[in-house]
Amino acid sequence: MDIDHGKYIEEKKSAWKIFDRIYKKYDLLNHLLSLGFDFHWRKKLSSLTGRKGDGMLLDLATGTGDVLFSLIKHSGGFNKAVGVDMSFNMLSHAVRKSVKRGKSGDVEFILGDANSIPVKTGSFDIATMAFGIRNISDPVIALRDIRRTLAKDGRALILEFSLPENRFLKSVHLFYLRYFLPVIGKLISGDVEAYRYLNKTIEVFPYGDKFIKLMEEAGFTECEKFPLTMGVVTIYRGIKTNG
């Protein structure tokens, strides 16, 4: 896919504004467009934290908070769970959901940028980011800052779209991304730009070993990848083994 690189970077810098517009329909579209697989992806993310009922959790680009809520549910809770996002409307929705679910005492939401995370160095055991790193203009800068927030032996778990290795599955998936997703996205959210942006970023964002290299460049060690659902998404895990 041909892209105008300068325009693409500028779009990424203001990607949060798209979510600020579509926040009311975001959760519904997420479940619909992933055919409900998003629940399974978050559950798998939870199993890779290696924690059971303790530790400090930081979720970047938390949006409406579904990763936080899922990790709290499947990991048996954390000592503290913090969600950070640039979109005020997405965060407000997350706060409303936490009150509704009786979780408002367990979580804290902060308006902030994943490139310069407003939390203390070395204060978290797990840092997660689901479908956020693709929206960052320089992923390595964000990954370095994510690493900074972690205590020694802390884990970063990044869940992001990828493309299937199998050529046939890849072309079917690209067809879905280019022609089906923007139409459904527009019908439900009324915002065609949002879902065109989504398919454009998925197609050009580095995945698999290329993304592992970015994690290593940011200082993570023991980096691993876990492709899910025929490779349409991948979870990447990296450890902060030294200060």
Ligand X SMILES: C[S@@+](CC[C@H](N)C(=O)[O-])C[C@H]1O[C@@H](n2cnc3c(N)ncnc32)[C@H](O)[C@@H]1O
Residues forming the site for ligand X (CB under 6 A)? 15-16, 19, 30, 61-63, 66-67, 85-87, 90, 113-115, 130-132, 135-136
Find the shortest distance in angstroms from Cβ 167 to ligand X. Answer: 27
Residue placing its CB nearer to ligand X in the complex, 66 or 125: 66
Find the shortest distance in angstroms from Cβ 141 to ligand X. Answer: 10
Residue placing its CB nearer to ligand X in the complex, 173 or 209: 173
Residue placing its CB nearer to ligand X in the complex, 40 or 152: 40
Residue placing its CB nearer to ligand X in the complex, 42 or 240: 42
Find the shortest distance in angstroms from Cβ 7 to ligand X. Answer: 17
Find the shortest distance in angstroms from Cβ 70 to ligand X. Answer: 9
The number of CA neighbours under 13 Å toward the Cβ of 175 is: 6
C-alpha 134/C-alpha 239 separation (Å) is: 20
Residue placing its CB nearer to ligand X in the complex, 106 or 113: 113
Q: Tokens 């956020």 label which residue?
A: 132
C-alpha 2/C-alpha 4 separation (Å) is: 7
* SS3 assignment, position 225: strand
Q: Which of 43, 80, 78, 86 is nearest to 62 (CA)?
A: 86
Tokens of 203: 């197609």
Find the shortest distance in angstroms from Cβ 113 to ligand X. Answer: 4
Could you write out the DSSP letters of every residue in 157-190?
A: EEEEE---SSHHHHHHHHHIIIIIHHHHHHHHHS
Torsion region of 63: left, alpha or beta (phi above 0 gives left; psi -120 to 50 gives alpha): left
Question: Which residue is closest to ligand X by CB?
Answer: 63
Beta strands in 112-192 (DSSP E): 124-130, 150-161
